[in-house]
């Protein structure tokens, strides 16, 4: 296809602002999917995506469109590149944006712009994409397009009257939007005769075909039966098939400058085909890769354990399978006194962690316990040596010269009436106000710098509940800062229970210790002897509870000589013991660990 006739764009939108519905409508209007084949949210392929209503993996689709000006019709090809909307996947978003010349900024006309949308908008503006602002859901009675048009105009500096108004649901305005995309978004530019360079913006594992790599060709051409090279690793692969998606994959003779499509090389593991990497030909290939490639780096770590220890091999299998489709997921075996055999897993963020756990439980039918998540710490030891800690149990006993923790820049957007309560919350999480802007008279944007550890637990939930669900949040990494952090251990009868150890700021140590000892007192059944539960920082005890002793004599109830009843009771007690873990002399039912580790 002549690059002049190609338009590549993505849709930037907040969750639920109607991106999938609009994409569906575009598929239909361009004739790519017939009305009767249409199923809701055609592009969201993963079941979990559909249920949670979020887009996890970028998908892309080719749309033909004819524009008539002055009685002359011209055929165009548009590529819609779908971007994930959640903060954890910012890197994937940035790569998807890199594959486009323009972006549709889609905003719910009853909600206004949200923090993540704003963050992605800035990302797109940074990359000089042409922005087409659009208000969606104008069919809603609650829609207030005039108000939100003013807000958007204020942010991107355009005329409020130039903002398109559409409804993905009824289809109103969508034809005009497609025309505008052709008119406003520039055609891709590249060197058709130069060495091939194509950017990977997504790769997905397919059971039958192996890894399917989605690419945007920047220079040259990608053709089947040619050997290609992944420039970040230098590894070469036979290119078995290239093609386009419209909406199902279809093999083609090749992809030229500006074209978006897929490539299959027969590799089985997405880590061989990394998002952001540049593909070139093995012979006469490019010498300079496209810029911006980054290795996926886990930001949040947590232990994952099977509730039933005999599921351990199944969990390993499942993790291996998931990793084929998720280059950002890392794991290694670990053992815990309390929880047995499991894995230490690294994730991009909290949502990534939740989704992974949910997929493991659902797709692989596993029951799992996860330990409290933690971020990655950097310590400078007394001898001046640098060490990285991703697991509280690796925290050194000795004194450290300095401890660093990762920090993030957060943006919160909310109705202005909540400014006070949001500030209070951010300050209680060690946040530092960076700035505040009114987007309109009634909505405000607050910027804080905060330790990442304070965000990853329940910050978003706390924010939502304090603002009745009206606040939205975005964050990005912003380096590290030195902090007074300590490890709090929880001891049962003097014995540390590894799964409960946590790294916290020293001002929060007492609160954590208190919370955990109280919780465990409730959860652990009384034993034949008294059991102290203590929280400690190093050798210093900071909180203590006691579980009083009982004499547990189940047979006492069975007066009379009913021997079979006695036997039954004894067997039942034995059954119960199997699911007990012994910490020192204390027997703790597995459920107590599960309950203590589940967030409240
Ligand atoms: P993510 O995939 O999670 O990012 O969400 P999304 O932005 O793709 O939103 P989706 O298309 O799933 O729409 C969210 C909800 O809004 C659904 O219940 C849609 O039916 C509804 N919706 C989408 N577009 C419109 C519209 O134009 N009008 C009305 N009334 N409802 C809409």
pLDDT digits 0-9 by tens, 432-454: 999 999 988 888 999 999 999 99
| Residue 18 near ligand 1, beta carbon < 6 Å | yes
Distance in Å, CA 220 to ligand 1 centroid: 38
The response to whether 16 counts as a known ligand-binding position is: yes
Q: Return the pLDDT at 557.
A: 55
pLDDT band at 486 (very low <50, low <70, confident <90, very high): very high
- Beta strands per DSSP E along 452-572: 472-482, 485-492, 495-496, 502-505, 531-537, 540-547
Q: How far apart are CA 275 and CA 91, in angstroms?
A: 9
The response to whether 237 counts as a known ligand-binding position is: no
Instruction: Read off the pLDDT of each residue in 499-523 and give the average, rounded to a whole number.
Output: 90
- In the block, tokens 């109705």 appear at 415
| Residue 13 near ligand 1, beta carbon < 6 Å | yes
Q: Return the pLDDT at 263.
A: 92
Q: Residues in the chain, how many?
A: 600
Query: Which residues, other chains included, contact 556 with Cβ-Cβ below 8 Å and sequence gap of 6+?
Result: none
Helices 174-184 & 19-29 angle (0-180, nearest 10): 90
Q: Return the pLDDT at 552.
A: 56
Note the pLDDT tens digit of each residue in 552-596.
555 555 555 556 666 666 665 555 555 566 777 777 877 777 777
pLDDT band at 120 (very low <50, low <70, confident <90, very high): confident
| Residue 26 near ligand 1, beta carbon < 6 Å | no
Contact 333, 440 (CB under 8 A): no
- Using only the alpha carbons of the chain, give its radius of gyration: 28
Query: Which residues, other chains included, contact 154 with Cβ-Cβ below 8 Å and sequence gap of 6+?
Result: 439, 440
Short-list 361, 378, 377, CA closest to 369:
361
Q: How far apart are CA 230 and CA 233, in angstroms?
A: 6
| DSSP class per residue in 91-148 | HHHHHHHHT-SEEEEEEETTT---HHHHHHHHHHHHTTPEEEEEEE-TTSTT--HHHH
Instruction: Read off the pLDDT of each residue in 312-321 and give the average, rounded to a whole number.
Output: 93
Q: Return the pLDDT at 448.
A: 96
Distance in Å, CA 21 to ligand 1 centroid: 5
For residue 167, the ligand 1 atom closest to its alpha carbon is 27
Q: Which of 132-141, 162-171, 534-543, 588-597 has the lowest mean pLDDT?
A: 588-597
Q: Whose CA is nearest to atom 5 of ligand 1?
A: 16
Give the pairing type, strands 300-306 and 60-69.
unpaired
Instruction: Read off the pLDDT of each residue in 203-215 and give the average, rounded to a whole number.
Output: 84
| Residue 29 near ligand 1, beta carbon < 6 Å | no
Instruction: Read off the pLDDT of each residue in 339-355 and give the average, rounded to a whole number.
Output: 88
Q: How far apart are CA 274 and CA 546, in angstroms?
A: 52
Contact 281, 254 (CB under 8 A): no
Number of H helices, E strands in the chain: 14, 31
The response to whether 21 counts as a known ligand-binding position is: yes
ipTM for the whole predicted complex goes beyond 0.90: yes
| Residue 52 near ligand 1, beta carbon < 6 Å | no
Q: To test ligand 1's pocket by mutation, which of 40, 135, 168 has the most ligand atoms within 8 angstroms of CB?
A: 168
| Residue 43 near ligand 1, beta carbon < 6 Å | no
Q: How far apart are CA 213 and CA 281, in angstroms?
A: 15
Q: Whose CA is nearest to atom 21 of ligand 1?
A: 18
| Residue 285 near ligand 1, beta carbon < 6 Å | no
223 or 439, which is more confident? 223
Q: Whose CA is nearest to atom 26 of ligand 1?
A: 137
CA distances from 540 to 216, 268, 491, 504, 545 (A): 58, 51, 12, 15, 15
Task: Give yes or no for residue 249 having a pLDDT over 50.
Answer: yes
pLDDT band at 86 (very low <50, low <70, confident <90, very high): low
Q: Return the pLDDT at 138.
A: 96
- Mean pLDDT, the chain, integer: 86
Contact 260, 242 (CB under 8 A): no
pLDDT band at 54 (very low <50, low <70, confident <90, very high): very low
Q: Which of 35-39, 83-87, 487-491, 524-528 has the lowest mean pLDDT?
A: 35-39
Q: Give, as one character, the DSSP assignment of residue 281.
A: E
Instruction: Read off the pLDDT of each residue in 205-209 and give the average, rounded to a whole number.
Output: 79
Distance in Å, CA 56 to ligand 1 centroid: 16
């Amino acid at each position: 296809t002549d690059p002049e006739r190609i338009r590549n764009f993505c849709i930037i939108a907040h969750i639920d602002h109607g991106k999938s519905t609009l994409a569906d409508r575009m598929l239909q209007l361009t004739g790519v999917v017939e009305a009767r084949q249409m199923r809701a949210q055609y592009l969201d392929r993963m079941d979990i995506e559909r249920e949670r209503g979020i887009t996890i993996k970028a998908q892309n689709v080719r749309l033909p469109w004819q524009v008539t000006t002055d009685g002359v019709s011209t055929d165009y090809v548009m590529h819609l590149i779908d971007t994930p909307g959640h903060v954890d996947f910012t890197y994937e978003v940035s790569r998807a944006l890199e594959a486009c010349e323009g972006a549709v900024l889609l905003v719910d006309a009853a909600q206004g712009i949200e923090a993540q949308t704003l963050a992605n908008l800035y990302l797109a503006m940074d990359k000089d994409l042409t922005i087409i602002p659009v208000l969606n859901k104008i069919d809603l009675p609650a829609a207030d397009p005039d108000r939100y048009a003013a807000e958007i105009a204020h942010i991107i500096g355009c005329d409020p009257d130039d903002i398109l108004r559409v409804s993905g649901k009824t289809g109103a305005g969508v034809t005009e939007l497609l025309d505008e995309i052709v008119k406003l978004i520039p055609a891709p530019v590249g060197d058709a005769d130069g060495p091939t360079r194509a950017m990977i913006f997504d790769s997905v594992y397919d059971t039958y075909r192996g890894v399917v790599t989605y690419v945007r060709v920047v220079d040259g051409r990608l053709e089947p039966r040619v050997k290609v090279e992944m420039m970040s690793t230098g590894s070469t692969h036979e290119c078995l098939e290239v093609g386009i998606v419209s909406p199902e994959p279809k093999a083609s003779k090749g992809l030229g400058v500006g074209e978006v499509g897929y490539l299959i090389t027969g590799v089985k593991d997405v880590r061989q085909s990394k998002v952001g990497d540049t593909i070139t030909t093995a012979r006469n290939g490019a010498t300079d890769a496209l810029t911006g490639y980054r290795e996926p780096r886990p930001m949040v770590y947590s232990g994952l354990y099977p509730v039933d220890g005999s599921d351990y091999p199944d969990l390993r299998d499942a993790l291996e399978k998931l990793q084929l489709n998720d280059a950002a997921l890392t794991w290694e075996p670990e053992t815990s006194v309390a929880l047995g055999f499991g894995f230490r897993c690294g994730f991009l963020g909290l949502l990534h962690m939740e989704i992974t756990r949910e997929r493991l439980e659902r797709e692989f039918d596993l029951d799992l316990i996860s330990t409290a998540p933690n971020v990655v710490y950097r310590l400078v030891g007394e001898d001046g040596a640098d060490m990285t800690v991703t697991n509280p149990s690796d925290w050194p006993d000795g004194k450290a010269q300095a401890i660093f923790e990762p920090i993030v820049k957060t943006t919160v957007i909310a109705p202005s009436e909540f400014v006070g309560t949001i500030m209070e919350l951010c300050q209680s999480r060690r946040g530092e106000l960076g700035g505040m802007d009114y987007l309109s008279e009634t909505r405000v944007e607050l910027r804080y710098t905060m330790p990442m550890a304070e965000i990853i637990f329940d910050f978003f939930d706390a924010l939502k509940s304090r603002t009745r669900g009206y606040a939205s949040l975005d964050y990005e990494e912003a380096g590290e800062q030195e902090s007074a952090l300590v490890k709090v251990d929880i001891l049962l009868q003097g014995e540390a229970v590894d799964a409960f150890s946590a790294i916290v700021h020293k001002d929060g140590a007492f609160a954590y210790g208190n919370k955990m000892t109280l919780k465990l007192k409730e959860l652990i059944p009384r034993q034949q002897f008294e059991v102290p539960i203590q929280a400690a920082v190093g050798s210093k005890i900071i909180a203590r509870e006691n579980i009083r002793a009982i004499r547990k004599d189940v047979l006492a109830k069975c007066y009379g000589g009913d021997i079979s009843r006695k036997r039954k009771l004894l067997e039942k007690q034995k059954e119960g013991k199997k699911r007990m873990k012994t910490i020192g002399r204390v027997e703790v039912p597995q459920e107590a660990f599960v309950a203590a580790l589940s967030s409240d």
